[in-house]
Amino acid sequence: MLAQWHAAKDAYPDCLLFFRMGDFYELFFEDAVAAAAALDIALTTRGQQAGEPVPMAGVPVHAAEQYLPRLIRAGHRVAVCEQMEDPAEAKKRGSKSIVRRDVVRVITPGTLSEDTLLDSRRHNYLAACADARGAFGLAWLDMSTGEVWMQPIPSAGGVNMLAAALARIAPGELLAPDRLLDHPELAPLWDDVRDALTPLPASRFDSANAEARLLAAYGVGTLDGFGEPGRAEIAAAGALFDYLALTQVDRMPRLMRPRRLPAPGSAGAVMEIDAATRRNLELAQTLSGERKGSLLSVIDRTITGPGARLLAERLAAPLTDVAAIDARLDAVEFLGAQTAAREDIRGTLRAAPDMERALSRLALGRGGPRDLAAIRAGLEASQALRDALAAMADAPETLGRIEASLGEHGALVGRLAAALSADLPLAARDGGFIAAGFSAELDAQTELRDESRKLIAGLQATYAETTGVASLKVKHNNVLGYFVELGASHADRIMAEGKEAAADSFGLIHRQTMANAVRFTTVELSELDDKISRAGERALAIELELFAELAGTVLAAGDEVAAAARALAELDVAAGLAELAVGARYTRPTLTDGAQFTIAGGRHPVVEAMLEDGPGAFVANDCDLSGADAGRLWLVTGPNMAGKSTFLRQNALIAILAQIGSFVPAAAAEIGVVDRLFSRVGAADDLARGRSTFMVEMVETAAILNQAGPRSLVILDEIGRGTATFDGLSIAWATVEHLHEENRCRTLFATHFHELTRLAARLGELSCHTMRVKEWNDDIVFLHEVGPGAADRSYGIHVGKLAGLPPAVVGRAEEVLRLLEAGDQAGALTRLADDLPLFQAAVAETAPAPAADPVRDLLASVSPDELTPRTALELLYRLKAVMDD
């Protein structure tokens, strides 16, 4: 047995081996130690090898799904080694022979299909990255839904584009050739995805093999039908398929034809949002990694898992094509106006299960009766929704397309409805899921079983009468089958007549003596028992056959079922966004191909939702970056806590919402499509990656200055804060100039350096804005209003006072500020240092008398108004001479 274990382990050395032994998966040796630690289960031993006890740990098969997520999350991969035959079969080959076992599946983070292992509201992508001829290629798929994607990353875009694309996909597992892992330029990239990374030998990314694999998988003669993917994309997709063959062993998931995303920056590409920007804007999760508090959590009103996944997918990849965005907006607007119909639709969606994942489990041979039921209920919902959509007059094109994709599934629904009983077991092998009346053959076996059971019930009465024991019971257990149970005293009487006699008179065969009862079987009972179990076995075999047949029927209609599932998700997203628009008072944005950016009465969707005072407490603000008079670069000044960051982010979020085809939190919005969005917000420490805050800030600023173009939107919040004041101011200054003159992008720049506002005189499209505050009794009140102009001061001391700095510190700080503002800063600093208040007394006592300074003395003695040019020159010579002494 251990030899068998070693053979399997050698084939999957990097996996924990779940070795099936009866009702348990057992782990041995170092696997046992690792699993015991990760799962907090008992570590025992079993037998010996080379004189040492073999460590062992096990989990019950029925509970394995609860343990697997913990192992996967702890970074393990699990190879499941099953018994491939009944132990009875093995016995037939000889008493010592061992049950045949094979690894049937390798479980990795990117290849999960079970609901218990997956988040129903999030995609779990398996991605691969390859390179060929200097360009990169990406391919990714969601095994649980069968979607496959490819995208080229041109060599010109290089590492930045690759990083942005990976941040968008956020794969659960990323396959990469080990050769690329050592690439110095790519190092920061791998850092970002380290937890998901699975390095593979470069040979698995060979593009010729990959092409052959893809052609075979899709049964086509050329890949050109897939949008003429490049070598790198093909290599990446090939590696994905190869990896599936490796991990799924011989079951391939149902995979759709790959869809191709255009290269970043090309026509029809999605809005590019790099990893830092995604993090900063808290799109799908907050900076602390939670979903709650993210933009997604606030806008997600979808009902179904597939709907939630589609919304997340769209939020990750806003469109840049005005027509496509408008098509989505049309659907949202239409459903927003139709309150009753929308509520009907959402009501029906509540009954629609996750068909996508059910379908994929069926394809992988891991499905059960409940997956068939999910398909049935999902298709029923599709029909109902199709009818609902058909009944709507003047529906926009998007809804028409959804209606068509929902399809016509009457026959399949009818068949599944007839086949499935009301109560369904989890696994097909548990039986009892086929409804009566569906199969005559199955019904015959059921009848046989039920009749025999009736006969047995009758026998209890007969036996009670024959033996004269009214309390006699016929019972059943797995060891004895059906048996007669007698109380001990009655049994004694019968036994006293001798076993033979008992058998003769009543046909009872003694089997077991318990404390208070004795158990007997009879020939009649055994025969009926046999009949029942034979009928049961036969019935189960028939049910399993029917299951396979039904699953086959569903899979044969797989493309249509998947299309219906996708259409349901789209409808869910459209209806959810409509619900959001109505409930949260969002309006339809106008998208153009120009460079407008005019937001009237914009709000921050998340801050607004979180404000405790309820809707209306948020102060709406306008923003206009359309150029000319309004300016293209807004410099936003104002004290801390006045709402600068909120204002900046809300405009970025409004652009994103508009381009995913959602209404936006504003009174009106006109937006020229944003092709790339950059944001550098706040000063987040990135110690985990061994870079100082300031370094991170500069790296991200550099990325923006190097990449932003005229269609980009840039949000810069407090750049240059992480270093000395003059350094910071200088960097901020130069950055503003560069953005204005070179990048020429739409920019919102918040800063506490109000000196920057002086740039307004020189930079034509820079306009100054400030967060308005009201001073009141020496305190300040934040109005959260953006107004024209510049903050004349930064109010930092006020904020410090609000925060509870000791009055002495506040007082002194005000004094220092006055001095600094009065004149030249360098001189003021010298005076301040000479004048440290806290140490003043000590300085007076101990400081040595200042050394005589002849230059100073000389200067003190002259009166400049009385100097003639000639005496002035003489004075200069004398000063120089004194200095040189």
How remote is the C-alpha of 647 from its chain's centroid? 27
CB of 607 to ligand ADP, least distance (A): 5
Q: Which residues pair with 136 in a beta bridge?
A: 131, 153
321-334 burial by CB neighbour count: b if 16+ within 10 A, else e?
Answer: bbeebbbbbbbbbb
Pick one of Mg ion, ligand ADP, none as the site partner of residue 20 (Cβ within 5 to 8 A by kind): none
When CB distances are held under 5 to 8 angstroms depending on the partner's kind, the choice from ligand ADP, Mg ion, none that residue 719 binds is none
Indicate which of Mg ion, ligand ADP, none lies near residue 757 (CB less than 5 to 8 Å, by partner kind). none
Out of ligand ADP, Mg ion, none, what residue 105 binds, judged by CB under 5 to 8 A for its kind, is: none
Residue nearest to Mg ion (CB): 645
**Torsions phi, psi for 321 (to 5 deg):** -95, 115
Return the number of the residue (122 or 752) whose C-beta is nearest ligand ADP.
752
Q: If contact means CB under 5 to 8 A according to the sort of partner, which of Mg ion, ligand ADP, none does residue 641 touch?
A: ligand ADP
Rounded to the nearest whole angstrom, what is the least distance from the CB of residue 674 to Mg ion in the complex? 22
Closest CA to 295 of 282, 308, 310: 282
Taking each continuous run of H as one helix and of E as one strand, the counts in the chain are: 33, 27
Work out what residue 301 binds among Mg ion, ligand ADP, none; the CB cut-off runs from 5 to 8 Å by kind.
none
Give me the residue whose beta carbon is nearest to ligand ADP: 643
Residues near Mg ion (CB under 5 A) are 645
144, 124 contact by CB (below 8 A): yes
Give the residue among 536, 537, 561, 548 at the shortest CA–CA distance from 428: 548
Residue closer to Mg ion (CB basis): 579 or 718? 718
User: 239 vs 653, which CB is nearer to ligand ADP?
Assistant: 653
**Closest Cα to residue 579, out of 304, 326, 302?**
302
Beta carbon of residue 590, minimum distance to ligand ADP (angstroms, whole number): 23
Q: Which does 618 bind (CB under 5 to 8 A by kind): ligand ADP, Mg ion, none?
A: ligand ADP
- Report the nearest approach of Mg ion to the CB of residue 659 (Å): 25
Minimum distance of Mg ion from residue 576's CB (angstroms): 31
| Binding partner of residue 68 among Mg ion, ligand ADP, none, CB cut-off 5 to 8 Å per kind | none
Cβ count near 444 (within 10 Å): 14
Shortest distance in whole angstroms from residue 791 CB to ligand ADP: 10
Residue 248 interacting entry, from Mg ion, ligand ADP, none, C-beta within 5 to 8 Å by type: none
Whole-angstrom distance, CA of residue 500 vs CA of residue 81: 50
Q: φ, ψ for residue 145 (rounded to 5)?
A: -125, -10
Considering the complex, what minimum distance in angstroms separates the CB of residue 649 from ligand ADP?
Answer: 8
Of ligand ADP, Mg ion, none, which one sits near residue 619, judging by CB under 5 to 8 A according to partner kind? ligand ADP
Choose the one of Mg ion, ligand ADP, none that binds residue 256, judging by a C-beta under 5 to 8 angstroms depending on kind. Answer: none
- Could you tell me if 505 and 463 are in contact, meaning their C-beta atoms sit under 8 angstroms apart? no
Picked from ligand ADP, Mg ion, none, the partner binding residue 643 (CB below 5 to 8 A depending on kind) is ligand ADP
Here the tokens at position 842 are 């000590």
- In the block, tokens 């398929």 appear at 241
Closer residue to ligand ADP (CB): 187 or 781: 781
> Tokens 């600068």 correspond to what residue?
644
Closest to ligand ADP by CB, 110 vs 605, is 605
* Residue 764 neighbours by CB under 8 Å, 6+ apart: none
Sign, CA torsion 301/306/309/311: negative
Q: How far apart are CA 117 and CA 432, in angstroms?
A: 26
Most distant CA pair in the chain, distance: 151
Q: φ and ψ at 131, to 5 degrees?
A: -130, 150
Q: How far apart are CA 119 and CA 128, in angstroms?
A: 21
Using the minimum distance from each CB to Mg ion, give the nearer residue, 145 or 645: 645
Q: Which residues bind ligand ADP (CB under 6 A)?
A: 607, 618-619, 638, 640-646, 784
Among ligand ADP, Mg ion, none, residue 81 binds (CB under 5-8 Å by kind):
none
Q: Report the side by side order of strands in the sheet with 633-637.
A: 272-273, 676-680, 713-717, 746-750, 633-637, 766-776, 779-788
Contact yes or no for 782/646 (Cβ under 8 A): no
Phi-psi region of 47 (alpha: psi -120 to 50; beta: other; left: phi over 0): left
Are 557 and 636 within 8 A, CB to CB?
A: no
Q: What is the DSSP letter of 741?
A: I
Nearer to Mg ion, 508 or 768 (CB): 768
CB of 717 to ligand ADP, least distance (A): 7
Minimum CB distance to ligand ADP, residue 223 (Å): 50
Judging by beta carbons within 10 Å of its beta carbon (0-12, 13-18, 19+), is residue 51 exposed, middle or buried?
A: exposed
**Least gap, CB of 205 to ligand ADP (angstroms):** 46
Tokens of 811: 């007082």
With CB under 5 to 8 Å by kind, the binding choice for 39 among ligand ADP, Mg ion, none is none
Spatial contact of 366 and 68, defined as CB atoms under 8 Å apart = no
The smaller minimum CB distance to Mg ion, of residues 438 and 694, is found at 694
Nearer to ligand ADP, 177 or 639 (CB): 639
CB of 778 to ligand ADP, least distance (A): 20
The token duo for 860 is: 């003190």
**Considering CB distances under 5 to 8 angstroms, the limit depending on partner class, which of ligand ADP, Mg ion, none binds residue 642?**
ligand ADP
Q: Residue 715 Cβ, how far from Mg ion at the closest point, in Å?
A: 11
Q: Which is nearer to ligand ADP, 413 or 642 (CB)?
A: 642
Give 588-650 as a DSSP string: --EEESS--EEEEEE--HHHHHH-TT-TT-S--EEEE-SBGGGBSEEEEE--TTSSHHHHHHH
Question: Measured from the CB atom, is 576 or 643 closer to ligand ADP?
Answer: 643
Closer to Mg ion by CB, 229 or 605: give it. 605
Judged by beta carbon, residue 378 or residue 643, the one nearer ligand ADP is: 643
Shortest Å, Cβ 641 to ligand ADP: 5
Q: How far is the CB of 29 from ligand ADP (least distance, A)?
A: 54
Strands 676-680 and 590-592: unpaired
Q: Phi and psi dihedrals of 56, rounded to 5?
A: -145, 145
User: How far, in whole angstroms, is CA 663 from its chain's centroid?
Assistant: 23
| 57 interacts with, out of Mg ion, ligand ADP, none, CB within 5 to 8 A per kind | none
Nearer CB in complex with ligand ADP: 168/644: 644
| Token pair 């200054």: residue | 733
Instruction: From 707, 716, 705, 698, select the one nearest 634 (Cα to Cα).
Output: 716
What residue 646 binds from ligand ADP, Mg ion, none (CB within 5 to 8 A, per partner kind)? Answer: ligand ADP
> Could you tell me the smallest distance in angstroms from the CB atom of residue 752 to ligand ADP?
9
Minimal distance, residue 599 CB to Mg ion, in Å: 19
Q: If you compute the radius of gyration of the chain from its CA atoms, what whole number of angstroms results?
A: 38
The nearer residue to Mg ion, 444 or 799, going by C-beta atoms, is 799
Residue (403 or 717) nearer to Mg ion, CB = 717
Nearer to Mg ion (CB atom), residue 242 or residue 785: 785
Name the residue among 781, 763, 765 with its Cα closest to residue 773.
781
H or E element at residue 770: strand 766-776
Query: CB of residue 718 vs Mg ion: minimum separation in angstroms?
Result: 6
